Amino acid sequence: MKKYIALLVCDTVMDTVKDVHGDYYAMFTRLLHASGEGIADSDIEGKVQVDAYDVQKMVYPKDLTSHDGIPYDGILITGSKDSAYTDVPWINKLVEYVAEVADGPKKIKIVGICFGHQIIARALGGKCVANGGKWEVGITQVGLTELGKKVFGIERPLYIEEMHQDHVPEVPANFHLLGSTDVSINQGMVRFNSEPPESAIPSSILLSDIQIFTVQGHPEFNEPIVSEILRVRAASGVIPEATATKYGENPENRDGGKNDGVSVIRKAILGVYGISLSTS
């Protein structure tokens, strides 16, 4: 059965990235469908439909219903260059919306990416703050908790593209940590459909048991996208020269380096939405 996902778009992709890689709708559709990634999922495009909503313009799905008139199965909140703690109307509206739908009668599935991760924290009892000028840019190794290993299906660290200096400094109540770095403790978190006994969390979990899933990084990004964003932001002084230099010195940031966005994180996102992958 096809799943319908509402993509809440929280930013406008810079022109030099958009011209080559498309906007957020294109990036996330490509991620979920694994277009061009050589993954032999059976008819995945027929299993997922994504509709985009520009929440910067206060556009939201009416009654959580898709463009085709079918109720949404899930929401996906994108990243943004803006700060999730900023007191501006569209961000405050997004926080209110997430709080409402997360605890609404439907208990809709919600996935948050970077800014989306931070908005979810703010909406549901946590907070987002500036991280003292500390940036995480490019491929970042995330140490996983025991639960994180179960959710992502790996025993090693997770590798994900990052582009942020704001962060979630703690884990909100009723959420469970997936992983951490030395720079930012909360690199992802989940909230279950119903809270299981603590002893059951590491050993008996199905992705479909998760209602809310977040990551601080960007599974929809790849090396060319991050490199171009970094180039533009470093040239304008938004990103410090030292951060740009460190990025260039990290061998993992070269094309072909480690990136679990498609192979690992995508699988977890689809599983949360209740989409099983049959490969051939």
Residue by residue, DSSP assigns 83-151 as -TT---HHHHHHHHHHHHHHTSTT--EEEEETHHHHHHHHHTT---EE-TT--EEEEEEEEEPHHHHHH
Q: Which two tokens stand for residue 134?
A: 């500390």
Q: Is 57 a domain residue?
A: yes
Q: What is the pLDDT along the chain (280 residues), one digit of tens a residue?
A: 789 999 999 999 999 999 999 999 999 999 998 854 555 454 566 789 999 999 999 999 999 998 888 999 999 999 999 999 999 999 999 999 999 999 998 889 999 999 999 999 999 999 999 999 999 999 999 999 999 999 999 999 999 999 999 999 999 999 999 999 999 999 999 999 987 655 556 566 899 999 999 999 999 999 999 999 999 999 999 999 999 999 988 887 776 678 999 999 999 999 999 987 654 3
Taking the C-alpha atoms of residue 188 and residue 179, their distance in angstroms, rounded to an integer, is 6
pLDDT at position 230, please? 95
- Would 52 be classed as within a structural domain? yes
**What are the phi and psi torsion angles at 116 (to 5°)?**
-60, -40
The residue type of 265 is I
- Listed residue (104, 229, 98) closest to 163, CA to CA: 229
Q: Do 79 and 112 contact (CB within 8 A), yes or no?
A: no
Segments forming the whole domain that contains residue 200 = 3-128+167-220+261-272
The pLDDT of residue 67: 82
pLDDT at residue 194, as a whole number: 82
CATH number of the CATH domain containing 123 = 3.40.50.880
pLDDT of amino acid 151: 96
Please indicate, yes or no, if residue 8 is contained in any of the structural domains. Answer: yes
pLDDT score for 197: 58
Longest CA–CA separation in the chain, Å: 50
Q: What is the pLDDT of residue 279?
A: 46
Report pLDDT for 107: 87
Q: How many CB atoms lie within 10 A of CB 75?
A: 25
Alpha-carbon span 237 to 270, nearest angstrom = 37
Domain count, the chain: 1
Q: How far is CA 227 from CA 37, 139, 192, 250, 252, in A?
A: 19, 11, 35, 12, 12
- 67 within a domain of the structure (yes/no): yes
- Asked if residue 47 belongs to a domain, the reply is yes
Q: Which residue in 107, 100, 116 sits closest to 10, CA to CA?
A: 116
pTM: 0.93
Looking at the domain assignment, is residue 25 inside a domain?
A: yes
Nearest-CA neighbor of 136 among 115, 166, 168, 102? 166
Domain contains 180: yes
Distance set, CA 253 to CA 87, 147, 190, 219, 244 (Å): 34, 27, 28, 14, 11
Is 71 inside a domain boundary? yes
Which position has the token pair 């085709």? 68
CA distances in angstroms from 128 to 53, 164, 171, listed in the order given:
23, 12, 11
